[in-house]
Structure 1
Amino acid sequence: MTKYEAELVAMLRDLDDPEWLERPRDYDRGETGALFNDLVAHLEDDFATPCVSERDTQDSSEYGRVTVPADATVCGTRIVVCVSKFGSLALVCADNPGAFLGTGEAQTEGELDAADLDKVCGTLANLGYAIVPEELLECDYAGPSQLPWHVQRPTWWHRFFGIF
């Protein structure tokens, strides 16, 4: 595990409060929504196209998703950004979460262009989001929270982006 990944795991552990599964104790729906609106607007500007977004996801620790359409990307594969209700966590993936084991695999398979990924990650970083790689989120969950009974193999993704 790299130093950066270790710092991300430490951040996930800090955000993990067993009493607050769906959202953090200090969750501000309006603030989260405003930041998400900024994200959508910036991605639409960056890719010069309307992006589909889903927001305020019910019974989930994920706040919402924004999708850059396939026809606006170099490789012709849509880019999906998932945003958690916790700590401005964000996940970037090609096509859909789980379609590839991370952005590296998507790039290797020719489904994600480095410049497109840089645009998305730059926008997220400029807005203060913490980008968590899908590979890290797919690691076994090792925190104090009791995740829902329907989760067969709990992962960090289930904890911070999953349905409750």
Structure 2
Amino acid sequence: MDKPRIETERLILRPPLREDFDAYAANMADEEASHFIGGLQSRPEAWRGFLQVAGAWEIQGFAMFSVIEKASGRWVGRLGPWFPEGWPGPEVGWGIVRDAWGKGYATEGAVATMDYAFDVLGWERVIHSIAPDNTASQAVARKLGSRCLGPGVLPEPYADKPIELWGQSREDWRARRKQKP
């Protein structure tokens, strides 16, 4: 199976490459940026997480994409489809480096990967696992047309962290996309 490459107006979304790791590790070492995406990680811990995403591409045929800023060519985050064992549903998630927050990259990339999840992967619904105090990600979910579905539980080692599940069905997504010019 060929691995996809998705381009938006300002982003390139592609599976992770080895050269993405330094930026990935730096993001996971940033306490504020990593707070809602697994927490602060040492470089060896980040390496294992990075390999988990790369391995999901090989085993499942999908996973989060590396987000590359077209204007600079730099890695600015990860986002896209995610559905590991024990997860509360098929997810489109995002994690953007702190100096790229507020530029709309999470929304722009999530729109493209929601289309991918529904149209290519054939998912019937998508969730977003969002901490109750993560107002920035809640705002992205709202922009996507998702709504809070209530509390959820993630598998270990995150089972003790409070989480809300946001999401929508493929039909809701398609109806909303038709309304957009």
Is the structural similarity TM-score above 0.5?
A: no
- TM-score w.r.t. the length of structure 1 is 0.32
Point out the structure with the larger strand share. 2
- TM-score w.r.t. the length of structure 2 is 0.30
